[in-house]
Structure 1
Amino acid sequence: MANSVDVPVAIVGAGPVGLAAALELDRFGVPYQIYEEDEGLSTKPKAGTILPRSLEIFGLEGALDGILREGLRFDEVHFIDRPSDKVLTRMLMSPMADETRYPFIVNLPQSDLERSLMDALVNNGRTVQFQHKLEAMVQDQDGCRLQFSTPRGRVDVRARYIFACDGGKSTVRHFCNIPMEGVTHPERFLVADFEVDLDRRVGRQLTYLSYIFDPEEWVIFVRQPSFWRFLIPVPEGAPEPTREDVVTKVRRVVKNESLPIRFLDMGIYHVHHRTAARWQDGRVFLLGDAAHLITPVGGLGMNTGIQDANNLAWKVSWVLQHGAHEDLLATYDRERAPIARFNARNQAERNRDVMRMKSPLKRIARNVLLGWMDRSEGLQWRAAHARSLLGTSYKPAGPPPGLLDGLSAVRRFTRPPITAGDRVPDGKIWGPDGRAHWLHDLVKPGFVALLFVDPRSRPSIDPDPDGLMTYIVHRFDAPTETGLRSRSLMDPGGSLAKKLGVPSDHFVLVRPDGHVAAIAPFVKSSDVAEAYKRFTGVSEAIPEAHII
């Protein structure tokens, strides 16, 4: 006889994205169960680079301490011309110090990351149902039914929603008949791990993430906490390299034919730039590799998946717990699919093309442009903002920057003001308890409205609806007799207002994932609550013209 389980959310797949999705649901108090086909967590060489935006998300999920304790932190990436062994440009994370409390990258093997996320789940009183293989799935207007086979027999699960985090060969996606669109390149990637002393290399040292450009055989070196990871292309039709072949390649790249190397492990992967044709099928949602397959060049695949979980979980929570309309769930596909397509077809594909550029004239032009970027504060900021994924935005795509925009960035740099869809930069602000707080911590429980008005004017604010907290942000604290002291955030010098580029007497409605829902003038006491209700679909709210 089959066992039966009834849960609001069933997560299929316990890789980093599935575990992150579970922690996001824990953050909002949504009950769930997570199922994994394998006997335990991953052990193979896979993703190993965690970008600043993912660090922010893990921080909100309560999973960051172990990651920072075990991982290898660094703030400089090198792009190197292999024939000349010269650094063409650097990508620095230090320009992000005013954007985030984590202006650095962390290298940590996926197996260790999964263990840290699992530890956080256990601390929340959760567990993973391992050795649960999905055999069947159907859905109707009220929910989904899943059937798993296990060593102990069949398990039937009834769930209102399914999070498919079951990887590139997703069984859930197959049951939904959702095709993948894009390309699979004929070459493959070899990922190999070694114990080798490259930290004391004679001559130019390798950073913890080095991209080595070569028209015939580009290379990526990734320094993990206790070993080095080596990525190279395997050409179409070429035989699978042996351990001895790979060791020889490493020695040739670092120009030391007698370098002692202890081989640890390796794997070969196909190079995909594909995204699912749709990310939602009724009550089923695709996340991570189930929704997008992105080359590991740039560390974009897993990090994009972590943002998928961060975008979807709060929306499901607001539908289940706060009365939001189910139309809110449709914004998951609309917001995340274009980001994944851009990361796959623009950032990752461009990285690959730049590294293996064959034309000598194009390589000269590339090297000149990269050197230009290395000396430009504005271009360095833009590169770090994009590559860290802190620049992820859900605003409608505008025209690409032109030549004059690039020249302006070289001459001078001013942070652009935020707009609806942008991620709100983090920073410290003084709370009503007299202590300094990080801005992003305010959104941990839900929506936050930042009302940039002078509290001395005694603004009238309607009571906050469920799921929203409104704060007044100003250089002056609210006097006690105004009754606004508990809502007052002190902004010395108006630094937060300047960073955001928000005019006075406006408010910024911030979503639980740290992105801007709306920016609008504060005219009457109900404006904030109405903007919140409009965005979540709880009820009618402010006119469209008020949303910037």
Structure 2
Amino acid sequence: MDPVIIVGAGPVGLTLALALARQEVPCVVLDEGPGKDEQRPARTVVLREDTAALVARLTGVPLAEAGSRWAGWRSLRRKQVMREITFDGTDPSSPGPDAPPLHIAQHVLTGALRAALARERLVKVAVDSRLDSVEQEPSGVTAHTRGAEGTWWRGSYLVGCDGPRSTVRKLQDIRFPGRTAVERHAVAALRAELPWPDKALLHRMPPWRTSGPTAGEITARPLPDGVWRLDWLLPPGKDLVTPELLVARVRETLAGWSAGPTPPYELLDTGVHTVHHRLARRWRAGRVFLAGDAAHLLGALGTQGLDEGLRDADNLAWKLALAWHHGPHEALLDSYQTERRAVVAARLRAADQALPLLRGGGGLRGYVRGSARGHDTLLTDGHLGRGALGTPGAYADSPLAPPHLDGETPVATLPGAPVVDVRVTAEDGSFVRLRERLGRGALLVVLVAPGTGVWERKHWVTAGIMPRLAAAVTALPNPAELLVAENYPGAAPHTVLLVRPDGHLVTALSGVRPADLYTAAEAALGGPAKAGVEATVS
């Protein structure tokens, strides 16, 4: 079987390659660059808890040490503190402990992914390889790269992770409609001491800036070693952002926050970040797929495009791996576009609906009653991964959802949503986090059994309902791992959870119900396979 060809060596392409390699699928990564990434401290990414855990699991690198976990979040409007959150569960509007996002320089993230790939025997990275043609037939894909000597590559599937100007998307004649320059930000990375160590800040309408409708929104986000990324929202238009203007903004802002003269600082990097909102019409064309910025662009109001791109990779990897090992299953492969495109489209709609309200125009002022505090809530949701602007998407209407089952029982996680990262007992008796068992291509079956954590596994593994459940798991249509949890939010004792390889809940059943478990597992894999069918998505 030919390898999967991945076009693009950014974070999404490298993550997809690692995820496939972990499931014993060989890959070729076509990198049009030299295999190294320019160090740009002002180019950073914010990862939610689960996507940071995904990258850490794949790389084996504790990313929290390479980036910054915020100690808290503060929102200001003029001189008034609108909201202050400490990431220890003290925010009354968010039940349960708050998980801080991870803020990390993109070149650091990419470097960790490249280092992990260098140790992978199943992955080849071809540098200085710029794609110029793709041909596909029922049995595979052929790609050609240009350079000193043109090279042909043969693959089973091809995934375009090659960014906003995706060559793969253009070669497949896939439209990419949307809006250009939704927002623009002047950006600076600098080393300085700010009044709130390790806390991120959103400051709207600071008192030292009163002109213009959007001239006064500033975001400050900490990085390691006393470095901060500062973003200033720019007024609409294409006015040139000069170095002199950026330095003036830096000095003015630092002086305003310190309530005195400009404190010492070291300017490390500057730039302009332009946000576009676009969504590809199709994410699949036969054996060719799109992921990351090649498929979608978003990022206004704190939403993070890379975070969604990593979710693309996680969703697609296990489906491609099953198709690679067991033959094409078109319903399963089609579900990638259906699930991921719907989630990103909802995120884009939410941002586009909120923009007129927050930026001072349009007829949506009643979207959130009241006022500045409501506006602040929307922005905080986007930056911290909450609400319509930030919460990880659920595949509520997934074609992989099982039909109604008599044994279904409610838990705190809705079907299609990401599961909670509880502690579980693995088959070897070790205690691990549930997320550590994801990404291996296997379904996870989790039995909620209070009290098992205080007994050795040998005392309960052959008792009660365990033998019957173990037999049911063995009979499933795909390899599955049986895990035991002492508790799960909203779950009664003896609840059985079926979890997809990417961590989304398929269903929860009351007790051991082999027929229901098999039906749910078969649905999660796309239903019964239909051999010999090749799909093209229109």
Report the TM-score, using the length of structure 1 for normalisation.
0.78
Q: Cα deviation per residue 1:454-487 (whole Å; 9 max; x = unaligned)?
A: 9525536343446432537xxxxxxxxxxxxxxx
| In structure 1, C-alpha distance between the alignment counterparts of 2:389 and 2:482, rounded to whole Å | 29
Q: Which residue of 1 aligns with 2:405?
A: none
Q: CA deviation at 1:522?
A: 5.2
Aligned-partner residue type, residue 83 of structure 2: T
SS in 1 for 2:371: helix
| In structure 2, C-alpha distance between the alignment counterparts of 1:314 and 1:64, rounded to whole Å | 22
Q: Which residue of 2 aligns with 1:198?
A: 193
- Which of 115, 129, 138 aligns to 1:132? It is 129
Q: Cα deviation per residue 1:173-223 (whole Å; 9 max; x = unaligned)?
A: 01111111222236533222223x233x4xxx3754322223331222222
Q: CA deviation at 1:25?
A: 0.7
Q: Which residue of 1 aligns with 2:397?
A: 396
- Which of 273, 279, 284 aligns to 2:283? It is 279
Q: CA deviation at 1:384?
A: 5.4
Q: Cα deviation per residue 1:136-162 (whole Å; 9 max; x = unaligned)?
A: 1122222221110123x1110111211
For the pair 1:212 / 2:203, whether they are aligned, the reply is yes
| In structure 2, C-alpha distance between the alignment counterparts of 1:194 and 1:232, rounded to whole Å | 14
Q: Which residue of 2 aligns with 1:424?
A: 419
Q: Which residue of 2 aligns with 1:54?
A: 51
Q: Cα deviation per residue 1:281-327 (whole Å; 9 max; x = unaligned)?
A: 11111111101111264251111101000000000011122457221
Q: Which residue of 1 aligns with 2:370?
A: 365
| Contact 2:100-2:384 within 8 A present in 1 as well | no
**Change in CA separation of 1:536 and 1:115 when aligned onto 2, cut-off 3 Å:** same
Q: CA deviation at 1:115?
A: 0.4
| Contact 1:75-1:105 within 8 A present in 2 as well | no
SS in 2 for 1:532: helix
Q: Which residue of 2 aligns with 1:228?
A: 228
The 5-angstrom pairing of residues 112-511 of structure 1 reads 112-125=108-121, 126-151=123-148, 153-185=149-181, 187-195=183-191, 197-199=192-194, 201=195, 205=196, 208-214=199-205, 215-217=213-215, 218-226=217-225, 227-254=227-254, 255=256, 258-295=262-299, 297-322=301-326, 325-347=329-351, 350=354, 356-357=359-360, 365-369=370-374, 385-386=386-387, 391-396=392-397, 417-445=412-440, 446-452=442-448, 455-457=463-465, 459=468, 461-462=471-472, 463-465=474-476, 467-471=478-482, 489=484, 491=486, 495-496=487-488, 499=489, 501-503=490-492, 506-511=495-500
| Contact 1:75-1:103 within 8 A present in 2 as well | no
Q: CA deviation at 1:258?
A: 3.4
Aligned-partner residue type, residue 30 of structure 2: Y
SS in 1 for 2:444: strand
SS in 1 for 2:501: coil
| In structure 2, C-alpha distance between the alignment counterparts of 1:448 and 1:243, rounded to whole Å | 53
| Contact 1:50-1:299 within 8 A present in 2 as well | no
Aligned-partner residue type, residue 119 of structure 2: N
| In structure 2, C-alpha distance between the alignment counterparts of 1:166 and 1:20, rounded to whole Å | 13
| In structure 2, C-alpha distance between the alignment counterparts of 1:114 and 1:147, rounded to whole Å | 25
**Change in CA separation of 1:507 and 1:140 when aligned onto 2, cut-off 3 Å:** same
Stretch deviating more after TM superposition (298-307 or 120-129): 120-129
Q: CA deviation at 1:329?
A: 0.7
Stretch deviating more after TM superposition (529-538 or 137-146): 529-538
Gaps of 5+ in 1: 1-5, 398-414, 473-488, 541-548
Identical pairs, percent: 25
Q: CA deviation at 1:342?
A: 2.4
Q: CA deviation at 1:18?
A: 0.7
Q: Cα deviation per residue 1:232-264 (whole Å; 9 max; x = unaligned)?
A: 233344531221211111222331553444333
**Change in CA separation of 1:64 and 1:206 when aligned onto 2, cut-off 3 Å:** same
Q: Which residue of 2 aligns with 1:532?
A: 521
| In structure 1, C-alpha distance between the alignment counterparts of 2:124 and 2:55, rounded to whole Å | 18
> How many aligned positions are there?
481
Q: CA deviation at 1:268?
A: 2.5
Report the TM-score, using the length of structure 2 for normalisation.
0.79
CA RMSD, 1 decimal: 3.6
**Change in CA separation of 1:35 and 1:104 when aligned onto 2, cut-off 3 Å:** same
Q: CA deviation at 1:430?
A: 3.3
- Which of 97, 103, 106 aligns to 2:99? It is 103
Aligned-partner residue type, residue 106 of structure 2: Q
| Contact 2:27-2:124 within 8 A present in 1 as well | no
| In structure 2, C-alpha distance between the alignment counterparts of 1:87 and 1:416, rounded to whole Å | 37
Stretch deviating more after TM superposition (322-331 or 385-394): 385-394
Q: CA deviation at 1:27?
A: 1.6
Aligned-partner residue type, residue 309 of structure 1: A
SS in 1 for 2:231: strand
Q: CA deviation at 1:452?
A: 4.9
| Contact 1:386-1:392 within 8 A present in 2 as well | no
| In structure 1, C-alpha distance between the alignment counterparts of 2:183 and 2:514, rounded to whole Å | 60
| In structure 2, C-alpha distance between the alignment counterparts of 1:505 and 1:324, rounded to whole Å | 36
**Change in CA separation of 1:339 and 1:185 when aligned onto 2, cut-off 3 Å:** same
For the pair 1:87 / 2:76, whether they are aligned, the reply is no
SS in 2 for 1:309: helix
Aligned-partner residue type, residue 212 of structure 1: H
| Contact 1:522-1:528 within 8 A present in 2 as well | no
| In structure 2, C-alpha distance between the alignment counterparts of 1:309 and 1:289, rounded to whole Å | 12
| Contact 2:496-2:512 within 8 A present in 1 as well | no
Q: Cα deviation per residue 1:18-58 (whole Å; 9 max; x = unaligned)?
A: 11111111221111110111223432443322221211211
Gaps of 5+ in 2: 206-212, 399-409, 450-459, 530-538
Aligned-partner residue type, residue 211 of structure 1: L
Aligned-partner residue type, residue 459 of structure 1: R
| Contact 1:17-1:305 within 8 A present in 2 as well | yes
| In structure 2, C-alpha distance between the alignment counterparts of 1:57 and 1:312, rounded to whole Å | 14
Stretch deviating more after TM superposition (503-512 or 325-334): 503-512
| In structure 1, C-alpha distance between the alignment counterparts of 2:375 and 2:280, rounded to whole Å | 33
| In structure 2, C-alpha distance between the alignment counterparts of 1:394 and 1:88, rounded to whole Å | 33
Q: Which residue of 2 aligns with 1:479?
A: none
| Contact 2:291-2:309 within 8 A present in 1 as well | yes
Aligned-partner residue type, residue 222 of structure 1: R
For the pair 1:21 / 2:16, whether they are aligned, the reply is yes
